[in-house]
Structure 1
């Protein structure tokens, strides 16, 4: 049980450190990208960004 909690703590600490290395403009740009792809976390964002889109995808928004 402690191993799972330790792993979760390390993962969250790494995510927090990653956010701290960005300035405000970068965070706004990233947030706008999250909204564009309709995601709420980095893993989903990367998956959606890599997925091929049709030409009319952006027009439907």
Structure 2
């Protein structure tokens, strides 16, 4: 019976580790998405600025 308990404990620890890994991956993915969004916003603003400068020059 004790063998079974230790096995159960090991399994639960593995599951916990897996969940932690998954959450870390999810967090990393969210950070990457945020970075991509910020880059897109910067690109958009710079293009708008460039366009307005070109319009002003004319």
Max radius of gyration: which structure? 2
Q: TM-score when scaled to structure 1? A: 0.37
Q: TM-score when scaled to structure 2? A: 0.39
**Bigger RCO of structures 1 and 2 (CA < 8 A, at least 6 apart):** 1
